[in-house]
Amino acid sequence: MRAESLAFLRRLLETPGPSGYEAPTARVWRAYAAQHAAEVRTDMSGNTIARLNADATGPRVLIAGHIDQIGLLITHINGDGTLAFRAIGGWDDQILTGQRIQIIAKDGPVFGVIGRVPKHMIKGEAKYQAASIESLFIDIGADDAATTAARVRPGDPAVVEQPVLMLTEDRIAARGLDNRAGAFVAIETLRLLKEGDAPYADVYAVATVAEEIGGDFRGARTVTTALQPTIAFALDLTFATDRPGGDVQEFGEHKLGSGPAIARGGMTNPPLAELLIATAIAENIPYTIEPLPRSTGTDADGIAVAGTGTAVAVVSFPNRYMHSPNEVCSLADLEASARLLAATIRAITPTTDFTPR
């Protein structure tokens, strides 16, 4: 990966931005996007929208990667100065005990650790029960509620404090790869399109918000309603199945380094999926198929039902240890995905039809 792109990815990963509090990370994305787009703006939902060519007249194409990450939300200040909290997005509660935490407070970051009653002090059968988030607390080093209240308020978000780690030249470990990787690939695709001949399509890369809290996929839905794209690519991570427990019969074979996963089924548009596959073959880009018989669990679910309808595809990147403080991805997979998307968008002509027939 080129040095400038990797440095940008690291800045995205290092900047906290859980669902509902994405603005700091969006600022990083916006500054990079300004170098590669004709127009960059932010809407009321918090989505950041980068348009490739302000004079384009072809069909609108949306490339959406959600920029929020799972996190925590402070819910109460306890009398002993510790903090109660609940999850933003889908955590495995067992992962949280002992983690270092960065609270995004009004006057700057506040650091703490997640505590639990030690196993040695738990009585009876409770000693052998799994931890729940309700039994955990955050310790910021204060001994009373007043000291804590001077630094932290209920409603402050937090993230696990974990540095980016390069395991090899290709394998990166970090919090929030789900889905800073998708937001990264979206704008890298725009960069590749800018560096070559202008495509026929009117292309928008968007860093969407609020995907991790599910429901109606607010960010993706509102930006789709506003832009009314003909075609959309929802970018996200998928489960790598190259480690123990990976169920290839349910999720398909997705190894780190096997390239982008192209979804088929469910909410996706069959002609658009076939164009992605044909382009991958023509461009000699490795890929896998991700079977999605129902909803996708990605921004595609919001995009597909917004407005009058959009031909939507899901392109994903294999990820180990999903929703943990140390997700692991391949940089080569991210690069291959951006190349595939750029080539597919270039293949759209005035006669391309995505109506299923």
pLDDT averaged over consecutive 10-residue blocks of the chain (357 residues)? 97 97 97 97 97 94 97 97 96 93 97 85 70 93 97 98 96 96 98 93 97 88 95 95 75 88 94 97 97 90 89 96 95 98 96 90
Q: In the prediction, which pLDDT does 238 show? A: 94
Phi-psi region of 34 (alpha: psi -120 to 50; beta: other; left: phi over 0): alpha
Q: Provide the residue count of the chain.
A: 357
Q: In the prediction, which pLDDT does 67 show? A: 97
Distances (CA, A) of 261 to 40, 270, 285: 28, 15, 11
Two structure tokens written together for 254: 């997705």
Two structure tokens written together for 14: 């290092």
Q: In the prediction, which pLDDT does 318 show? A: 96
Q: In the prediction, which pLDDT does 195 show? A: 94
Q: List, by residue number, the catalytic residues.
A: 211
Q: In the prediction, which pLDDT does 249 show? A: 73
The Cα diameter of the chain in Å comes to 71
Q: Where are the beta strands (DSSP E) in the chain?
A: 39-42, 48-51, 60-66, 71-77, 83-88, 100-105, 108-115, 137-139, 157-160, 165-166, 171-174, 202-208, 231-239, 261-264, 288-291, 311-319, 327-330
Q: In the prediction, which pLDDT does 121 show? A: 65
- Is the preceding omega at residue 179 within 30 degrees of 0, hence cis? yes
Pick from 339, 315, 321: which is nearest to 177 by CA?
321
Q: In the prediction, which pLDDT does 153 show? A: 98
Q: In the prediction, which pLDDT does 131 show? A: 81
Local structure of 71: helix, strand or coil:
strand
Q: In the prediction, which pLDDT does 53 show? A: 94
Domains in the chain: ranges and CATH = 3-69+175-346 (3.40.630.10), 72-160 (2.40.30.40)
